[in-house]
Structure 1
Amino acid sequence: MANGIEEKPTVTVATATSPSDLAAVPQLIKELADGVSSLEPGCNEARQALAIKARTLMQALETPRETMIKHCWAQPAVYAAILCGNECGLWKLMAKNGDKPQKVKELACALGVDPVLLSRLLRHLGAMGYLLEVGEDEYKPTSFSLSLSLPIMNASPWAAPPSSTSMNTSAPGAGRTPRTPRTAPLMHAHKTDLNYFALAQSRGYLEDFNNHMGGYRQGRLPWMAPGFVPVQEVLIEGADRSSPDAVFMVDVGGCLGHDLLEFHRYHPAAPGKLVVQDLPQVVGSIAPSEENRALTAMPHNFFDEQPVQGARAYYMHSVLHDWPDERAEAIVKRVKAAMRPGYSKLLINENVIPRTDAYWEMSALDLVMLTQLSAQERTESDWYDLLERRCGLKIAKIWSGGRGVESLIECELK
């Protein structure tokens, strides 16, 4: 009602109950069939493009009403069913039983759970395609359900609840972007003064978070692999070989040193020390092992003065996306102050969102960071603003690993 005059709806109910774009279906099916011929093992670009095309076909066939019900009912119910399966050990049991049809009653008996409840949960997972229904109360595992037996997969639902709750119940208010960690929607949704990491720790989710991040990074070409960044040319050539104590690379906020260990596997002859820095309780938990001997663990808070001066490379993986610009600037400037002119590089391994055609993993993670920490995934323009305008560095090159893969931003002193 505006000015006492009832406004007529601009969209009718028929729009919500009709297929979204039936006319596009024949062409989409043709493009899908044509795309199959370009699929090759290990070619993620072609596979991802085909998956997006298949999604477009599904959306064209669905009615808007069906799409809405899927998001409001079906997907949250899948999430709940996966959590239940985690809690009772279902996914590990089904994987142990092997790739064969499995009866609900037998699974329920082995797990000591209510067979009626398990039947209802698996029925929905079957209806959604996460299990294959082969008969009444009988299901065959899929690659997805088998993968849920892996820690890097089954940890994700436990690691995600704090952020998913804030995404669902507390989007940014009044159309304004939260600018500080203390105003993150997560804190409002959970009525807490704890940030995401402190909240996850208080609920016992930190190990799950680490496993979740390990799963997120699987199947992606690491930046130090052949065909991504020419490490020999960019880093190893010109590195200081005069002293065994010279530091080659510092992983700032590097957790348990997984990235440095991967770098060492690819480039074992790189000169100098590999130093992993994180909070004392983190690096203190790095287990002694033959592999970990390649690392030098150093307690450090990246908001404090950088203790390693003049390293060949300072490296940060998914550190700055946890912080809004003001705090990210403070982190970078601590590293900048330690860099040696004409020698040191800052390497930032993060998403660079393209101007158009953003990949869904990047856009989704951007909103997760918004709600968790008032932070963000950054576009190329955002990175230039942060690193060059705010911090006074020079971006030498942005090395891209392709769609959905984190880039490596190579920075130097001006």
Structure 2
Amino acid sequence: MTETNGTNGTKAANGETTPSKVDVSIALKANDAAAVPDLLQEISSLGENFDSNDDQARIKLAMKARSLWKSLETPRETMIRHLWAEPSVMCALTAGYDKGLWAYLAEREGRLLRHISSMGYLKEVGANTYELTNFTRSMSIPVIGAGYPCIAGACVNALGQFHEYANLKGWKDPTDVYDSPLQHGYKTKLNFFEHLHNNPPYGQQFHHHMGGYRQGRPSWMDAGFFPVEERLIKGFKEAEDTTLLVDIGGSFGHDLTEFRTKFSDVPGRLILQDLPVVIEQIQKLDDKIETMKYDFFTEQPIKAMKPGYSKLLINENVIPETGAQWEATALDIMMLTLLASRERTRENWDSLLGKAGLKIVNVWTVANGVESLIECELS
């Protein structure tokens, strides 16, 4: 075995380092300096008539700004950001939320605040004096802040030790929710949801986090997304105990509550299904919404599918073959490591649903990176 000084080499799975043919000086140069002039021009053009109320314009400008930043950053700086800065700021933000009082943290834990400030999440206005930004102000809201201790405490080991799991399994995609990077990282036999709810308060924090994830994102019930009146309500045959909607794995009832708000006079039963431990945590829900304890890994108790009439609506990502958006690709990695699953392309969805005797009638999409509504019927 040939030893190297570690400056210019890669380490194999067995721990041995092999020399790299890439000179280390490349890590000290901008990632893509050639792209900078065009990016500056595009950012300037997008900024000329920027409308802060146009969300798609905001996202487009943010993506260009992100590209500029990453083009200017050196590989060495990217490495330090990934391995030092981002884990450290995750640590500091999580501690701040867990403490519950940013003012207390300002007085007692200046080291954490200094790093949070250096990462751009607080404004430093003097020695040991910081001013909240919209982000750190929002950290006091459970749907924003609660995800930090949940991910840090109950999920991050699955991502951090994924490479170990993949080496053990020969780099094959996991398909068993009881044999995934999560079980390897946390030395548990529980699946993801069992793992969360058996380690409180992570289960409740996760449901807050999912509520935060949905904030500001287009809803499938919005005008211009899925034609609810035409495709769902029109032709509904009302009878005693007829079910209109069953929300499977619906958490605390966010979707059905929204549906009741937007379509308050619609007849039919609205049923919210989730694990017993989730249903038992619900404190307030519209009287029209029924709750049902149910594990979606078991057979569905509501038998309501009729060919040519009933629909399965799947509010999920449909990953494009090219140009996938970063939120969707990040979620795909979370699905890989936590649930032995994946975010799917149209081809993946056709294959999966076809095996279940279903066909896709239409895929309703309003923007890249936002969940589509996949409308299905029995074949």
The TM-score, its normalising length taken from structure 2, stands at 0.89
Instruction: For residues 80-113 of structure 1, give each alpha carbon's deviation from its aligned partner in whole angstroms, at most 9, with x where no partner exists.
Output: 111221232333x48xxxxxxxxx8xx41xxxx3
Partner of 1:229: 226
Q: Could you say if the C-alpha distance between residues 42 and 355 of structure 1 is closer, same or farther in structure 2, counting changes exceeding 3 Å? A: farther
Partner of 1:149: 140
Partner of 2:215: 218
Matched, 1:208 2:205: yes
Aligned equivalents of 1:219 and 1:35: distance in 2? 22
Unaligned runs of 5+ residues in structure 2 are 3-17
Partner of 1:292: 286
Matched, 1:410 2:365: no
Offset at 1:46?
Answer: 1.9
Contact 1:45 1:403 survives alignment (8 Å): no
Determine what percentage of the aligned residue pairs are the same residue. Answer: 45
Contact 1:186 1:196 survives alignment (8 Å): yes
Contact 1:349 1:406 survives alignment (8 Å): yes
Could you tell which deviates more after superposition, 183-192 or 142-151? 183-192
Partner of 1:77: 88
Task: Give the one of 323, 340, 362 matched to 1:397.
Answer: 362
Contact 2:207 2:251 survives alignment (8 Å): no
Offset at 1:222?
Answer: 0.7
The alignment of Structure 1 onto Structure 2 pairs a total of residues equal to 358
Task: Give the one of 319, 325, 328 matched to 1:353.
Answer: 319
Contact 1:223 1:401 survives alignment (8 Å): no
Offset at 1:275?
Answer: 1.4
Contact 1:240 1:271 survives alignment (8 Å): no
Partner of 2:180: 184
Instruction: For residues 341-400 of structure 1, give each alpha carbon's deviation from its aligned partner in whole angstroms, at most 9, with x where no partner exists.
Output: 111000001111111111111111111111112111111111111012x11211000111
Aligned equivalents of 2:87 and 2:368: distance in 1? 27
Instruction: Give the match's secondary structure for 1:192.
Output: coil
Instruction: Give the match's secondary structure for 1:344.
Output: coil
Partner of 1:382: 348
Letter aligned with residue 222 of structure 1? S
Q: Could you say if the C-alpha distance between residues 304 and 56 of structure 1 is closer, same or farther in structure 2, counting changes exceeding 3 Å? A: closer
Offset at 1:37?
Answer: 3.4
Matched, 1:126 2:117: yes
Letter aligned with residue 154 of structure 1? G
Task: Give the one of 302, 308, 312 matched to 2:296.
Answer: 302
Letter aligned with residue 283 of structure 1? I
Q: Could you say if the C-alpha distance between residues 177 and 61 of structure 1 is closer, same or farther in structure 2, counting changes exceeding 3 Å? A: same
Partner of 2:192: 196
Offset at 1:213?
Answer: 0.7
Could you tell which deviates more after superposition, 248-257 or 78-87? 248-257
Task: Give the one of 250, 257, 261 matched to 2:253.
Answer: 257
Q: Could you say if the C-alpha distance between residues 404 and 12 of structure 1 is closer, same or farther in structure 2, counting changes exceeding 3 Å? A: same
Contact 2:43 2:65 survives alignment (8 Å): yes
Q: Could you say if the C-alpha distance between residues 165 and 140 of structure 1 is closer, same or farther in structure 2, counting changes exceeding 3 Å? A: same
Contact 1:163 1:186 survives alignment (8 Å): yes
Q: RMSD of the TM alignment (CA)? A: 2.1
Q: Could you say if the C-alpha distance between residues 248 and 380 of structure 1 is closer, same or farther in structure 2, counting changes exceeding 3 Å? A: same
Instruction: Give the match's secondary structure for 2:327.
Output: helix
Offset at 1:57?
Answer: 0.6
Unaligned runs of 5+ residues in structure 1 are 95-103, 311-338
The TM-score, its normalising length taken from structure 1, stands at 0.82
Q: Could you say if the C-alpha distance between residues 88 and 384 of structure 1 is closer, same or farther in structure 2, counting changes exceeding 3 Å? A: same
Matched, 1:273 2:269: yes
Instruction: Give the match's secondary structure for 1:397.
Output: strand
Letter aligned with residue 292 of structure 2? M
Aligned equivalents of 2:298 and 2:182: distance in 1? 26
Contact 2:244 2:268 survives alignment (8 Å): yes
Q: Could you say if the C-alpha distance between residues 279 and 186 of structure 1 is closer, same or farther in structure 2, counting changes exceeding 3 Å? A: closer
Offset at 1:65?
Answer: 0.5
Offset at 1:304?
Answer: 4.1
Matches within 5 A, 1:5-154: 9-91=20-102, 93=103, 107-108=106-107, 113=108, 118-154=109-145
Instruction: Give the match's secondary structure for 1:293.
Output: coil
Aligned equivalents of 2:97 and 2:262: distance in 1? 35
Contact 2:52 2:58 survives alignment (8 Å): no
Partner of 1:317: none
Could you tell which deviates more after superposition, 257-266 or 73-82? 257-266
Letter aligned with residue 250 of structure 1? V
Aligned equivalents of 2:275 and 2:98: distance in 1? 31
Partner of 1:163: 155
Offset at 1:170?
Answer: 2.7
